[in-house]
């Protein structure tokens, strides 16, 4: 398994705008610390510790106050680090867990009581590909009655082949990282049109995150991602989420999180839309009080 670098230790504060009160980073992770929360034995990569103390310093620097921690594969289905981080937030944090069929109903209920409101499935080929769909549906059917949503990590080119799966979804679902659409292929590419079409369905949400992954250029300013984010916002402004993806596992170029906050100002140029995406939308989906 490969070791990966950690995030930039000293990101700059936002320069383009001041995030509104209760602004939420709706896609981020906590890794370790490994001496308290060991990584999964079958992990594909080993990150350096990037725990809740580091994250809280980041939020203070960026002017954000809420967060949604998304369980990452390096911790597998042991959600302990994420649960600890949520509890440390005292109502400011929520979570998206990874679970399997070893979880009892009581286990899932405990995650719900802590603040977990979704579970995530990976469909990206280089990260292992689609899950066993029989298991997928059994888990979806167990968590949907709790009001949870399903977070789906796709490559955009695979969206059409999963149209039937998405049509069957009994609850809201969230497409991670703009479906990893390749920006070099332009706004008219079929995969991006498919993503826009999905947003006509009230169940579908999308995260305008991962610019450092989507850009064709590598380093910032990630200008080529802006038209894609704006098109998604125009399609469904009340079902768009934004996040940093801190601490940025497996990226080509480690971003400065201050640049990513400034980029969001280009995604959403007006204050009302920024507040909608950073505050109102995550508040609704994650039950922030």
DSSP states along 74-125: GGTT--HHHHHHHHHTTTSEEEEE---TT--HHHHHHHHHHTEEEEEEE--G
**Rounded-to-integer distance, Cα 41 and Cα 157, Å:** 31
* In contact, 84 and 115? CB cutoff 8 Å: no
Q: Which of 25, 49, 54, 245 is catalytic?
A: 245
Respond yes or no: is residue 245 known to be catalytic: yes
Please name the residue that has the structure tokens 């993806």. Answer: 245
Give the neighbor-by-neighbor strand order of the sheet with 93-97.
24-28, 66-70, 93-97, 116-122, 149-153, 173-175, 204-207, 240-241
SS3 241: strand
What is the sign of the dihedral through the CA atoms of 175, 180, 182 and 183?
A: positive
- Give residue 236's Cα distance to chain centre: 17
Note the maximum CA span of the chain. Answer: 48
Q: What are the two backbone dihedrals, phi and then psi, of residue 144, each rounded to the nearest 5 degrees?
A: -60, -40
Query: Among all residues, which ones are annotated catalytic?
Result: 245
């Amino acid at each position: 398994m490969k070791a990966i670098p950690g995030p930039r230790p000293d990101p700059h504060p936002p320069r383009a705008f001041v995030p509104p009160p209760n602004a939420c980073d709706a896609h981020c992770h906590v890794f370790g610390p490994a001496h308290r929360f060991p990584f999964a034995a079958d992990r594909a990569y080993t990150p350096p510790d990037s725990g809740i103390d580091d994250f809280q310093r980041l939020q203070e620097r960026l002017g954000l106050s809420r967060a949604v921690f998304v369980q990452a594969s390096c911790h597998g289905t042991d959600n302990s680090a994420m649960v600890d981080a949520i509890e440390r937030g005292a109502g400011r944090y929520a979570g998206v867990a990874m679970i399997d069929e070893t979880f009892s109903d009581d286990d899932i209920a405990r995650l719900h009581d802590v603040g977990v409101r979704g579970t995530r499935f990976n469909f990206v080929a280089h990260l292992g590909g689609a899950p066993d769909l029989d298991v997928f549906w059994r888990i979806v059917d167990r968590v949907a009655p709790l009001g949870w949503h399903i977070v789906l990590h796709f490559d955009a080119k695979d969206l059409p082949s999963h149209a039937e799966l998405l049509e069957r979804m009994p609850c809201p679902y969230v497409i991670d990282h703009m479906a990893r659409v390749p920006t070099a292929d332009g706004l008219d590419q079929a995969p991006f049109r498919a993503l826009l079409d999905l947003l006509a369905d009230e169940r579908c949400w999308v995260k305008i995150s991962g610019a450092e992954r989507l850009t064709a250029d590598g380093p910032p300013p990630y200008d080529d991602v802006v038209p894609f984010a704006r098109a998604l916002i125009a399609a469904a402004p009340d079902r768009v989420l934004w996040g940093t993806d801190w601490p940025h596992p497996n990226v080509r170029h480690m971003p400065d999180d201050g640049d990513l906050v400034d980029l969001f100002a280009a995604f959403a140029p007006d204050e009302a839309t920024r507040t909608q995406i950073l505050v109102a939308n995550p508040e609704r989906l994650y039950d922030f009080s």
